[in-house]
Amino acid sequence: MKKLTAFCVIFTLLYQVSAPAQDVLTLREAIQESWTHRKNIEAEALNPKIQNLQTQALKKKYAPQVSLEYEYQYNPILQSSILPVGKFNPALPSDAKESVQFGTTWSQAAGINLLQPLIDEKVKQQIRESHLNEQLASASLSTQKYLLAYEVTKAYLELWLQQQQWASSVIDSTGTWESYQMQLQRFQQGRLLKYDLNKALINHHNAVQKVRDARSQLMKSKIYLQNLTGRPLNPLENIQPDSNFFKSGFEKWMRLSPRWDSLPDIRQLSLQQQLALQQQQSEKSKYLPTLSLKGFLGANQYSNVLEPFAAHSWFGYSYLGIDAKLPLLFGEDKKRKLRELQLQSDQYRLQKEDESSQYQEQAATAQLQLYNLQGRIQNQEANLTLQRESVTLIRERVAMGQETAESLNNEELELMRMESQLAESQRQGWLYWLDYVKANGLLETLWEPSR
C-alpha cells in the first residue's frame, strides 16, 4: 500500500511541478487574447479604417475647389478673320472685306479659379455606397473574429475534456497498480496462477499507457490553444480552464432566444443586398443634373515682344457664375446595368434566406442530438459509478479469497472501457452544444461581459 501511495504522489507531483502556477483562464479571456494577438485579425481590422478614409475623401467633394493658374504662351502664327469693313466705313463699298489678325505673339495669364459644388446627387449616392462598404468591411472583420472565436471555444473545450480524461486515467492506473500488487502477493504465496498475474500486469500496463496518451493529448491541446491565443508555445504551462463554465451545463443556453440576424455571414449577405440596391441609385444619379458655382479672379498680358513685366500690358479679368449640367449620354447601357444590379440584389436575398434556413435546420438537429446525448451521458455516469463500486468490492473479495482474480481483471477492463465511452460522449456532447450555439447566433454570448 505504501508503494501505491508513493506511486500516486510522485506521478501527480511530477505533473504539477513541471508546470508553473497559472490563474484560471476563462473562455472570454481566451477569445479576447486570440483577437488581440492574431495577425490576420489585426490586418482585417484595417479594412474598415481604409474604407472610412475613402468615405471622408468623397465628402470632401462638396468642399470648395480653389486653384492657382498661370500660363505663358507663344503664338508664332496668329489667327486671322475676315471682317466686313464696308459696314463700318461709309467711304468703302458696302461689300468691302479685309483680313485682320487677332492677338499678340506673346500672352500670359494668371489668376485664381474657384469651383463650389452646390447640387450633385452622384456624390451623395457615392457617399451612401461608401458607408455601406464600411459596414461590409466591419462585417468581414466580424466574420473572421467569429470563426476564430469558434476555434478557440473548440480548443478550450478540448483542453478541459483532456484534463478530465487525464485525471480519470491516473485514477484507473492507481487502481490497476493496487490490484497487481495484491495479486503479486497472492502469487508469491502460491495462491494465484501466473496467467491471472500476467493479466493484472497487462491491465496495469494498458492503464499506464492510457495516462501517457492522455497527457500527450493534453499537451497537444495546450499547444493548439496557445497558438490561437498568441501565447508562447509551452506544453508544460498549467492552463486551467474555468470549471464553473462547465458546471453550468447546457440548459441555460437552451433558454436563450436565437439571434440568426446577428450571424456575420447573414449580416454580410444582407449588406451586400443593400449595396446592390444602393448601386442602382448611384447609377441613376449619373443622369441627374449638377449645379456648381464657378469664379475666376486674375489678369492677362498681351505683347508682341518678350516682356513679361512691361508696364500697361496687364489687364484684369474676373467672372462669377453658375454652371449647370445635364448628362445625356455616357456611352453605357443604363437599363442593362440597372437590371444586372437588381439581379445581384435578388441573388443576395435568396442566398440569405437559404443560409437562414440552413442555420435553423442545424440548430434544430444539434438540439435533438444534444437532448438525446444528455440522457445517454446520465446513464453512463450512473453506470460508471456502479462499476467503480463493483471493482472496489471485487478487489476486497479477492483479497479475502472470496472472488477470483480473473473476475477482478475483467471488471477493471470493463471499467476502463466504460470510462472511455463516457469521455467520448462528453466530448461529443460539448461539440453538439457548440454547434447549437453557433447555429443559433449565440456564440457572441460567450464573450459578452454579462456572460
Buried b (16+ CB within 10 A) or exposed e, 31-43: bebbbeebeeeee
Distance CA 357, CA 269 (A): 14
Distance CA 334, CA 345 (A): 17
Across the 451 residues of the chain, what is the mean pLDDT of every consecutive 10-residue run?
Answer: 42 44 80 91 92 92 91 85 79 80 85 92 92 94 92 93 88 87 86 86 90 91 91 84 83 83 90 94 90 93 80 86 86 84 93 92 91 88 90 85 82 86 88 91 82 43
In eight-state DSSP terms, residue 448 is S
pLDDT confidence of residue 248: 76
Instruction: Judge whether 207 and 169 are in contact, CB under 8 Å.
Output: yes
> How much of the chain is in helix, strand and coil states, percent to nearest 5?
65, 15, 20
pLDDT confidence of residue 57: 92
Burial-class residue 77 by CB neighbours within 10 Å (0-12, 13-18, 19+). Answer: exposed
Instruction: Judge whether 305 and 105 are in contact, CB under 8 Å.
Output: yes
Beta bridge partners of 333: none
Conformation bin of residue 302: beta by default, left when phi > 0, alpha when psi is -120 to 50: beta
Of 436, 435, 447, 427, residue with least CA distance to 221: 427
Q: Which three cell numbers stand for residue 297?
A: 479672379
For residue 432, the tally of other CB atoms under 10 A from its CB is: 21
Beta-sheet pairing, 106-120 with 240-241: unpaired
pLDDT confidence of residue 450: 55
pLDDT confidence of residue 178: 87
pLDDT confidence of residue 239: 86
For the chain, what are the domain ranges? 2-66+119-288+332-446
Q: Angle 6-8-13 (CA atoms, 0-180°, nearest 5)?
A: 95
Fold of 2-66+119-288+332-446: Outer membrane efflux proteins (OEP) (1.20.1600)
Beta bridge partners of 112: 68, 297
Instruction: Judge whether 392 and 351 are in contact, CB under 8 Å.
Output: no
Going from the C-alpha of 63 to that of each of 57, 117, 119, 292, 361, the distances in angstroms are: 10, 7, 12, 11, 52
